[in-house]
Structure 1
């Protein structure tokens, strides 16, 4: 098979799959409730004992307080990402906060918060 035809088939197949996923709603960000955030955190860190869950108003991020420290859970498409807040920088962002992790695998997360939420989350994220 000529390379040009193979290239068209591969690109067309990837574009078709992407379009199908988008049209079926699988590209929407997951909306978190406190109960869903709780269960998603335990899926990522099953040994943690959760004390409290604070979900952002937009439902795309949650601050998890555990017995061993705080953690951040956020939507990444239809899935979630969870990281313990051990080594990070908290930077102001026009839409809320930018959390820069000192981890190659998770460089940063932008958390969308309003002004009231921003003060509350900043207080909760301060090291003990």
Structure 2
């Protein structure tokens, strides 16, 4: 088979799969409830004991208070990412907060938070 035809078939196939997933709603960003956040946190850290969960107003992030300290859970497309809040910098942005982790394996995350949420979240992120 000529390379040109193979490339067209591969690119067309991948594009078709992506379009089908998007049109069927499987690419929508996860919206968390308290129960979902608990379940997702335990999926990432099964041994953690959760004391409290605070969901962002838009449902795309949650602060999780555990025995070991505070953690952040955020939506990453249809999945979630969870990190313990250790060794990071937080910056206020026009739409919320930006966290930069000092771990090269963890990318920074921008959280969309309502203005009245920002101060509470920043306060809860401070290690005790």
* Coarse TM-score class (shorter-chain normalised): over 0.9
**Which residue of the partner structure matches residue 90 of structure 1?**
90
Unaligned runs of 5+ in 1: none
Aligned residue for 2:117? Answer: 117
Structure 1, residues 1-55: CA drift from partner, whole Å, max 9, x if none?
Answer: 1110011011101100100110110110000001110111011000101010000
| Residue 81 (structure 1) aligns with | 81
Residue correspondences, number: 128
User: What does residue 44 of structure 1 align with?
Assistant: 44
TM normalised by structure 1 equals 0.97
For normalisation by structure 2, the TM-score amounts to 0.97
In 2, Cα distance between equivalents of 1:27 and 1:105: 24
- The more displaced of 100-109 and 66-75 is 100-109
Alpha-carbon separation, structure 2, partners of 1:101 and 1:12: 37
- Measured after TM superposition, the shift of residue 105 of structure 1 is 2.1
- What's the C-alpha RMSD, in Å, of the aligned pairs? 0.7
Cα shift at 1:80: 0.5
* Unmatched 5+ stretches in structure 2: none
